Amino acid sequence: MRYTQLFGKTSKTISADADSINAKLLTQGGFIQKEISGVYNYLPLGLRVLTKIQNIVREEMNKIGGQEILMPAMTQEESWKTTNRNSMDVLFHLKGQGDTDLVLNPTHEEVVTPLAQKYTFSYRDLPFAVYQIQNKFRNEARAKSGLMRGREFNMKDLYSFHTDEADLNRYYEIVKKAYFEIYKRIGLGDITVLAFASGGAFSQFSHEFQTINKNGEDTIYLCKKCNVAINKEIIDTQKTCPECGNDKLETIKATEVGNIFKLRTKFSHAFNFYYSDKGGQDKIVEMGCYGFGPSRVMGTIAEIFNDDKGLIWPESVAPYQIHLIGLDLFDEDIKKQAEDLYQKLLDKNIEVLFDDRIDVAAGAKFADADLIGIPTRLVISKRSLQNGGVERKKRNESQSEIIAFDKIIL
Amino acid sequence: MRYTQLFGKTSKTISADADSINAKLLTQGGFIQKEISGVYNYLPLGLRVLTKIQNIVREEMNKIGGQEILMPAMTQEESWKTTNRNSMDVLFHLKGQGDTDLVLNPTHEEVVTPLAQKYTFSYRDLPFAVYQIQNKFRNEARAKSGLMRGREFNMKDLYSFHTDEADLNRYYEIVKKAYFEIYKRIGLGDITVLAFASGGAFSQFSHEFQTINKNGEDTIYLCKKCNVAINKEIIDTQKTCPECGNDKLETIKATEVGNIFKLRTKFSHAFNFYYSDKGGQDKIVEMGCYGFGPSRVMGTIAEIFNDDKGLIWPESVAPYQIHLIGLDLFDEDIKKQAEDLYQKLLDKNIEVLFDDRIDVAAGAKFADADLIGIPTRLVISKRSLQNGGVERKKRNESQSEIIAFDKIIL
């Protein structure tokens, strides 16, 4: 993509409402633009990052047998009455024609449970797991600036269905591993830990994935031996590490980047979701649910990988792999060589953002590249050509080096 | 994918509300499941079809320089007051915390115009085109059953921005060509025509793409010389072919599968969207918008490509390319050969649905394959092996043929 054609430009000015690091950096870098509080537009650069995160999540869900479906944002309020959740304060209510009561789903147990029920008759239909990647709505009283806590936000939600608790427990551990694989792939692996949280009415614990972040809104108590934490909400009842009993826990700021629950039979009871077992007896279905917010995780990555000049994307989720900067482009020969290089990179299927602006100074181009945060910067200029090639610099390093043309393809 | 594991099964029973052909066939085939009137769940098979249509549209939009963005479903009612469209009866209204007035966007001029404005300053920023593939909401009084007219539905909407009318006209013709390329690729090319429709306040005409469909809800008047039609709504003012003046027009039933508008300056006026021209003068921005509903088009394809046994998907949008049916699978040797073949097809990256059910009769498996409508059926059975291979039948042909194992890869 040519920078001169790219929709959405960088901005040095910080909008007044950018009270969070991710909103500030992502807006300045030209990734997102606020629509209203807690609701954002994704510009081309931002959508590329979001899509990359979604695709990594999709691959890992497919690997553990998750089948992708797509449920709607809108449903009848009646389904939420069935589970006694229709008075949840984050539920958006609206009226359909004919005065029908509708809601926007902030989560999909009320949709997926009756849907799964339609195709589940006997033990032979179990277990299975379905997931979707879709936008959810929460009527947040105080939506946070940026992508961390939105009113409209992107979620991957996986739901699993089982004949009994043992099988739910088995699959729950498989999902846990898949989640750690996702965090590893998107660059958060080393700083993301499993945290025990409240299990609600039916389980002792649920689990969160917490990414250590000095600006995070959560407080967790970390056992350094097990690399396992306890969420603040249960620290009064669970004062020691649930795995080793260690009572020397470290208080750390973190951001929640995923949560998984054993729903057990809470929703299958509400919808009378039974299956016929091997002996022909009706048994209740056991359920698990597993949430991961691609948009929230994009915000988290932005909060963690940055410096005072801008963003520093991990390779796997960067909008482009290469930020190619052409300097001295008023010189026709240099321009031709820059264009040739751009074309060669495209031909090799390398994702390149090409700063082809002629009338912008080198300093401004470097500043824009730093704001955007693409992992590798290549500069082609009169000087680089005199030195025998192209100047390469990693966004997270300060030294650049000259690379000969025939060695550029990484 | 193994049929025994696939979420969402075929059904012989027709649900009472399936008053349209597409709802009936897509529900029976296990593609969609109704949530509420005009709102559908996409099961794995259905999501595969929808995604294929979306990806074809995406490729064609990218080819004509469209840049993909993602705008939210939700915005403030204020933006709709700016354009005097806040009393549109299909607009869903809802209240945010703090009693703020919000709406769900049924189209995105009210979002994209101020968004584009933020990044457009001078003639050098023009022209450009952005699009999104996203779910929209319309509070339809009478939502149609199936995917044809929903309350929540998928749309691709492209918006273009220009310095003047001539440039808008130039790009409008480029989009028109891209649309025909899309219809060609998804199998509707031969039966889709351009229809002239009302241009609203600012243009003489807008254009619809109408697919000839004996069950279609629209009536068009077709000039067979030019393969161009007139929509019923303007036939009183435009009685002859706008291209050749022919007054012998054929009355035909059709389904609208896309529409494009020259918005001209309607929305740029409302939002005061000006740019600075070469001479430094402020000029108003000219706009075009181009809609295509992947979910509606999926419904249209289902309405057109079927027989009394079920769906018949065009190759390019079929959920899988091959429906592999194993018969006599209680025989361990046949089972092994069927499993080997399934694995070989997967290894070749062929999309295959494998009916691996052991206890289901051949007739029921064939009936399910017909309902689902995958283009090519392969049957591996005791008989086919005795005959030296696998029985291949196209869904739209009645004859099958025996194919030797080494010639199966198509």
Q: Quick check: helix, strand or coil at residue A276?
A: strand
- Separation of alpha carbons A237 and A194, rounded Å: 18
Q: Which residue of B has its CA nearest to A36?
A: B75
Is residue B265 within 8 Å of B285, Cβ to Cβ?
yes
- Which of A307, A334, A353 is the last residue before a domain boundary? A307
All residues of chain B having their beta carbon less than 8 Å from the beta carbon of residue A7 are: 67, 69, 116, 119, 128, 130
Closest among A114, A291, A62, A271 to B41, alpha carbons compared:
A114
Disruptive mutation site among B31, B97, B111 for chain A (greatest number of A CBs within 10 Å): B97
Contacts of B397 (CB under 8 A, 6+ apart): none
- Count, in order, helices (H) and strands (E) of chain B: 10, 23
How would you classify residue A56: left for phi > 0, otherwise alpha for psi between -120 and 50, otherwise beta?
Answer: alpha
pLDDT in tens, B159-173: 999 999 999 999 999
Percentage of chain A with pLDDT > 70?
A: 99
User: Do residue A185 and residue A332 come from a single domain?
Assistant: no
pLDDT of res. A410: 56
Let me know if residue A8 belongs to a domain: no
pLDDT of res. A199: 85
Please tell me the distance in Å from B305's CA to the nearest CA on chain A. Answer: 23
B127 prior amide bond cis, ω within 30? yes
Q: What is the mean pLDDT of residues A167-196?
A: 98
User: Do residue B175 and residue B84 come from a single domain?
Assistant: yes
Please tell me the distance in Å from A126's CA to the nearest CA on chain B. Answer: 9
- Which of B281, B307, B333 is the last residue before a domain boundary? B307
Q: Which residue has the higher pLDDT, A314 or B237?
A: A314
| Residue B354 DSSP label | E
Sign of CA dihedral A102, A103, A107, A109: negative
Minimal Cβ distance to A7: which of B92, B95, B119: B119
CATH of the domain at B197: 3.30.930.10
pLDDT of res. B253: 96
User: Do residue B130 and residue B190 come from a single domain?
Assistant: yes
- Taking an 8 Å cut-off on Cβ atoms, the answer to whether A41 and B68 are in contact is no
- Separation of alpha carbons A164 and A255, rounded Å: 33
CATH of the domain at A400: 3.40.50.800
Residue B410 has pLDDT above 60, yes or no: no
pLDDT in tens, B234-250: 998 899 999 999 999 99
Is residue A353 within 8 Å of A319, Cβ to Cβ?
yes
Residue A16 has pLDDT above 70, yes or no: no
pLDDT of res. A408: 81
Q: What is the mean pLDDT of residues B295-310?
A: 97
User: Do residue B241 and residue B184 come from a single domain?
Assistant: yes
- Taking an 8 Å cut-off on Cβ atoms, the answer to whether A69 and B6 are in contact is no
Residue A384 has pLDDT above 70, yes or no: yes
Let me know if residue A197 belongs to a domain: yes
User: Do residue A372 and residue A272 come from a single domain?
Assistant: no
- Count, in order, helices (H) and strands (E) of chain A: 10, 23
User: Do residue B157 and residue B48 come from a single domain?
Assistant: yes
Residue A43 has pLDDT above 90, yes or no: yes
Let me know if residue A235 belongs to a domain: yes
User: Do residue A299 and residue A369 come from a single domain?
Assistant: no
Closest among A297, A287, A32 to A149, alpha carbons compared:
A297
- Which of B284, B307, B330 is the last residue before a domain boundary? B307
Let me know if residue A233 belongs to a domain: yes
- Separation of alpha carbons B331 and B319, rounded Å: 29
In the A/B pair of chains, how many CB contacts fall below 8 A?
139
- Taking an 8 Å cut-off on Cβ atoms, the answer to whether A36 and B135 are in contact is no
pLDDT of res. A142: 81
Q: What is the mean pLDDT of residues A230-251?
A: 92
Supply B303's token pair: 């309405």
pLDDT of res. B19: 75
3-state secondary structure A303-318: HHCEECCEECCCHHHC
Closest among B2, B283, B356, B247 to A128, alpha carbons compared:
B2
Domain count, chain A: 2
| Residue A300 DSSP label | H
Window from A131-145, A389-403, B364-378, B384-398 with minimum mean pLDDT: A131-145
Let me know if residue A228 belongs to a domain: yes
Minimal Cβ distance to A74: which of B115, B142, B151: B151
Is residue B89 within 8 Å of B142, Cβ to Cβ?
no
User: Do residue B208 and residue B354 come from a single domain?
Assistant: no
Let me know if residue B295 belongs to a domain: yes
pLDDT of res. A17: 64
Q: What is the mean pLDDT of residues B14-22?
A: 77
Q: What is the mean pLDDT of residues B373-379?
A: 98
pLDDT of res. A62: 98
Is residue A255 within 8 Å of A221, Cβ to Cβ?
no
User: Do residue B243 and residue B268 come from a single domain?
Assistant: yes
A127 prior amide bond cis, ω within 30? yes
A199 lies in which domain range?
21-307
Instruction: Count CA within 13 A, CB hemisphere, residue A400.
Output: 17
Let me know if residue A10 belongs to a domain: no
Q: What rounded mean pLDDT belongs to chain A?
A: 95
User: Do residue A248 and residue A381 come from a single domain?
Assistant: no
Q: Which residue of B has its CA nearest to A78?
A: B36
User: Do residue B226 and residue B343 come from a single domain?
Assistant: no
Q: What is the mean pLDDT of residues A251-271?
A: 97
- Taking an 8 Å cut-off on Cβ atoms, the answer to whether B72 and A40 are in contact is yes
- Separation of alpha carbons B11 and A346, rounded Å: 48
Please tell me the distance in Å from B207's CA to the nearest CA on chain A. Answer: 27
User: Do residue B244 and residue B105 come from a single domain?
Assistant: yes
Let me know if residue B11 belongs to a domain: no
pLDDT in tens, A325-375: 999 999 999 999 999 999 999 999 999 999 999 999 999 999 999 999 999
pLDDT in tens, B338-347: 999 999 999 9
pLDDT in tens, B67-120: 999 999 999 999 999 999 999 999 999 999 888 999 999 999 999 999 999 999
> Nearest 5°: CA angle at A201, between A243 and A283?
100
Q: What is the mean pLDDT of residues A381-409?
A: 93
Residue B257 has pLDDT above 80, yes or no: yes
Supply A86's token pair: 């229709």
Write out the DSSP string of A337-369. HHHHHHHHHHHTT--EEEE--SSS-HHHHHHHH
- Taking an 8 Å cut-off on Cβ atoms, the answer to whether B75 and A36 are in contact is yes
Q: How far apart are the first and last CA of chain A?
A: 19
Please tell me the distance in Å from B156's CA to the nearest CA on chain A. Answer: 15
pLDDT in tens, A95-140: 998 889 999 999 999 999 999 999 999 999 999 999 999 999 999 9
Q: Which residue of B has its CA nearest to A71?
A: B41
Is residue B112 within 8 Å of B159, Cβ to Cβ?
yes
Burial readout B241-272 (b: 16 or more C-beta within 10 A, e: otherwise): bbeeeeeebeebebbbbbbbbbbbbbbbebbe
Q: The whole model's pTM is what? A: 0.97
- Taking an 8 Å cut-off on Cβ atoms, the answer to whether A118 and B43 are in contact is no
- Separation of alpha carbons B233 and B365, rounded Å: 47
Residue A201 has pLDDT above 80, yes or no: no
pLDDT of res. B142: 81
Percentage of chain B with pLDDT > 70?
A: 99
